Structure 1
Amino acid sequence: MENSQVREAIVELLVRIEQDSGFSHLLIDQEIKSRNIPERDEALLTEVVYGTIQRKLTLDYYLEAFVDKKKKVKPWVRMLLRMSVYQMHFLDRIPDHAIIHEAVGIAKQRGHKGVGSFVNGVLRSMQRKGVPDTNAIENKTERLTVETSHPEWLVKRWLDMYGYDMTRDMCHANLERKPLSIRIQPLKISRQAAMDELHELGFDIRPSAFSEQGIIVDYGNILRTRLFEEGYVTIQDQSSMLVTEMLNVEPGMSVLDACSAPGGKVTHTAEKMQNKGSIHAYDLHAKKAKQISQRAAELDLTIIDAKPGDARKLQEKHETESFDRILIDAPCSGFGVIRSKPDIKYNKTADDINRLAKIQSEILKNAAPLLKKGGLLIYSTCTIDKVENDDVVKAFLIENPEFVTDTAFFEQLPSMTQYSPGLSEIGLQLFPQTFSTDGFFLTRMKRI
């Protein structure tokens, strides 16, 4: 496929993601399949789409110096400029003249000669003069917003919660590529055997400190290995693995996973139970419940019963005190996974956070009675917002004195996380910059 066709696909994707508030990772996958984009071009398409979204506010700041504010610029033209500037400023594989030439070609083809001249003028002026320096922005908050391309309301919110240094580090970490991590299926292969096989294939890997099943992949495409294709390993972030480690399950237990999709934690739980016992896994949507069953089948796990169900109404399906363990990986704002899904930071609002916190509280309140006395409940989210994490847990503990945070929670953490800046009596807040994981909150409570 010609580079111009790949770049046309990139423009189309960027417009769809912004206009439809679509999930970038899903739309990228659809576009690659529908256009039959060759493997050699997949990396460029993915990098430019993610990078352009990730740096959107920075790119717009650069463009402001070269585009008259009074000029009406069509969304697709703005996207074409953004992606071209991203490649010119943040990538170094393709020479500027080639990027400009292809951008002008796309502008003429999708628009007309005048659009091509406009695009050419903007990009050549930027090439000649260079981009404006963000250090010229005097206000620290505004400068951090522009430099790291995070909406100002979100930066201010994090500043109030965590202070400037933590917020700055978090915003910068959200621009970095996170190392991929995988989890072995221990009933099929040992971690050492999997690592030996990957080493032989030329992979750059290391063991995870978060889980004895975890492997960090610094280099190598795991999707094209026998281990992945035959269900010996599955992709999962280390922070997500830690959730199941904290659940402390044993073979033969009865477990409830109240918000189970896409299924990484529940399959990990089944593996820790040696595929013995029972797990009831629920998701609000039947399609996602089916995906959980498919993932379990791929890993040869048979104890997971995945069904559609509202986590707030599970008392209609199960008796009180039915489960030894309950996992509530609650629906959340997702601000801990901005590195993987950069569009999240532009699509969520403070109202969304408050609405989600209400749902989270309702799930906790309604699922908790299903736990046996002496049982353990894990509450987790993939966000770093205190309203969804600390505040939800504190309110629940006040209203439910029969639940206490489990002190063994702290003792059983991997030793490295003992020094995490997010460790408190309420739980553990992992930040993206601390261990190069997702931003993740988790706590363990015991019913006494």
Structure 2
Amino acid sequence: MENVQIREVIVELLVRIEQDSGFSHLLIDHEIKSKNIPPKDEALMTEIVYGTIQRKLTLDYYLEGFVNTKKTLKPWVRMLLRMSVYQMHFLDRIPAHAIIHEAVEIAKHRGHKGIASFVNGVLRNMQRKGVPDLEAIEGQAERLAVETSHPEWLVKRWINMYGYDITSGMCRANLERKLLSIRVQPLKITRQAAMDELRELGFETRMSDFSSQGIIVGRGNILRSRLFNEGYVTIQDQSSMLVTEMLHVEPGMTVLDACSAPGGKVTHTAEKMQNEGSIFAYDLHAKKAQQIQEKAAALDLTIINAKAGDARKLQQKHEKESFDRILIDAPCTGFGVIRGKPDIKYNKKEDDIARLASIQTDILNHVAPLLKKGGLLIYSTCTVDKTENDGVTETFLEQHPDFALDSTFFDQLPSVIQQSPDCSEFGLQLFPQTFSTDGFFLTRIKRV
């Protein structure tokens, strides 16, 4: 594919992501498959799309000094400028003159000579004068927000919760590529055997400290490996693996996963149970429930029964005190996975936090009675907001005297985590910068 062609596809994709509030990782994957993007162009396309989205607010700040703020730009023109500035300022392997030339060619093709001249003028002016100095921004929170391209309200909220240093670490980590981790299917292969095979193929690997099944992959495309394609390993973040490790399941148990999609935790749970017992997995959408079942089949796991179901109505399907273990990986704002889904930080509003916390509380209140006395319940989210995590947990415990935080939870965390400062009074809050995982909260509650 010609350079101009691939960049025109990128412009279209960026506009669609912003206008439709679509998830970038899903749209990128669809575009690569539907337009038959050659493998050599996949990496560049992914890098420019993710980078432009991740740095959007920074790029807009840079452009302010070169574009008349009163001038109304068509969405594709603004995206073309953003992605061009991203390449000029954050990528060093593409010469500026080539970036500008390709941007002008796209402007000619999509617009007219006047737009092409405008794009050429803005980019050449920026090339000549350089971008504005971010140090000129006086407010600490505003400067961090612009520098790391996070909404200012979100930065201020995190500073109020955790202080400037942790917030700065989160924001900067969200701009970096996180470590890729995979989980072996231990009924099919040992972790050591999987690592040996991957190393022979040129992969860089090391053991995860979070899970006995986890492997960190430093270099190599795991999607093209035999182990992945034949169901010997599955991709899963370390923080997500930790959830099942802390659920402490045993073979023969009856387990409920109330909010199961996309299925990483429930398949891990089935592996921990040695594929013996019974797991009921629910998701609000039938299509996602089907995907969970397909993932289980790919891993040769037969004890998972995945169906569509609202977690707030599961008492209609199951008797009280039916389950030995319950997992509630609740729907949340997703502020812990911004690194992999950068569009989240622009699409979520502060009002969403209270709305989701209410849903999380409803789910906990409804599902908890399904747990047997002496049983364990894990509550987890992929967010870093205290309202959704500590707040929901505290509210639930205040309203349910027959449930309590499991006193052994903190002592049973991996030693590497016990030595970190990420534990709160109500659970473990992982930050993305601490172990290069997703930002994640989990706690374990026992029915007494």
TM over 0.5: yes
Please state how far the C-alpha of 1:69 moved relative to its aligned partner: 1.3
Partners of 1:425 and 1:150 in 2: CA distance:
28
Summarize deviations over 1:245-272 as a string: whole Å, max 9, x none: 0000000000000000000000000000
Please state how far the C-alpha of 1:204 moved relative to its aligned partner: 1.0
Question: Secondary structure in 2 aligned to 1:446?
Answer: strand
TM-score, normalised on structure 1? Answer: 0.99
Summarize deviations over 1:62-81 as a string: whole Å, max 9, x none: 00111111211111000000
Please state how far the C-alpha of 1:108 moved relative to its aligned partner: 0.6
The answer for the alignment partner of 1:140 in structure 2 is 140
Partners of 1:370 and 1:358 in 2: CA distance:
20
The answer for the alignment partner of 2:225 in structure 1 is 225
Alignment of 1:95-114 (within 5 A): 95-114=95-114
The answer for the alignment partner of 2:309 in structure 1 is 309
- Whether 1:251 and 2:243 are equivalent positions in the alignment is no
Partners of 1:310 and 1:27 in 2: CA distance:
27
Letter aligned with residue 438 of structure 1: D
- Whether 1:31 and 2:31 are equivalent positions in the alignment is yes
The answer for the alignment partner of 1:166 in structure 2 is 166
The answer for the alignment partner of 1:241 in structure 2 is 241
Letter aligned with residue 429 of structure 1: Q
Summarize deviations over 1:393-421 as a string: whole Å, max 9, x none: 00000101111111111111111111322
- Whether 1:179 and 2:179 are equivalent positions in the alignment is yes
Partners of 1:389 and 1:43 in 2: CA distance:
35
The answer for the alignment partner of 1:407 in structure 2 is 407
User: Could you list the runs of 4 or more consecutive aligned residues of structure 1 that deviate by over 3 angstroms after TM superposition?
Assistant: none
| Residue-pair matches, total | 448
Summarize deviations over 1:131-152 as a string: whole Å, max 9, x none: 1110111111110010000001
Partners of 1:267 and 1:110 in 2: CA distance:
47
Letter aligned with residue 108 of structure 1: K
The answer for the alignment partner of 1:439 in structure 2 is 439
Summarize deviations over 1:6-64 as a string: whole Å, max 9, x none: 10110001000111111111111111111110111011111100000000000001001
Of 409-418 and 302-311, deviating more is 409-418
Partners of 1:34 and 1:297 in 2: CA distance:
26
Question: Secondary structure in 1 aligned to 2:387?
Answer: coil
The answer for the alignment partner of 1:198 in structure 2 is 198
The answer for the alignment partner of 2:396 in structure 1 is 396
Tell me if the contact between 1:282 and 1:310 (Cα under 8 Å) persists in the aligned partners.
yes
Tell me if the contact between 1:203 and 1:219 (Cα under 8 Å) persists in the aligned partners.
yes
Alignment of 1:11-410 (within 5 A): 11-410=11-410
Partners of 2:425 and 2:374 in 1: CA distance:
20
Question: Secondary structure in 1 aligned to 2:217?
Answer: strand
Partners of 2:222 and 2:34 in 1: CA distance:
23
Partners of 1:214 and 1:6 in 2: CA distance:
36
Tell me if the contact between 1:356 and 1:388 (Cα under 8 Å) persists in the aligned partners.
yes
Partners of 1:332 and 1:425 in 2: CA distance:
20
Letter aligned with residue 185 of structure 1: Q
Please state how far the C-alpha of 1:354 moved relative to its aligned partner: 0.7
Tell me if the contact between 1:420 and 1:430 (Cα under 8 Å) persists in the aligned partners.
no
Partners of 1:357 and 1:72 in 2: CA distance:
38
Question: Where does structure 1 lack aligned partners over 5 or more consecutive residues?
Answer: none
Please state how far the C-alpha of 1:422 moved relative to its aligned partner: 2.2
Question: Secondary structure in 1 aligned to 2:325?
Answer: strand
Please state how far the C-alpha of 1:5 moved relative to its aligned partner: 1.1
Question: Where does structure 2 lack aligned partners over 5 or more consecutive residues?
Answer: none
TM-score, normalised on structure 2? Answer: 0.99
Partners of 1:3 and 1:376 in 2: CA distance:
55
Please state how far the C-alpha of 1:129 moved relative to its aligned partner: 1.1
Partners of 2:234 and 2:339 in 1: CA distance:
20
Partners of 2:382 and 2:424 in 1: CA distance:
17
Partners of 2:387 and 2:338 in 1: CA distance:
18
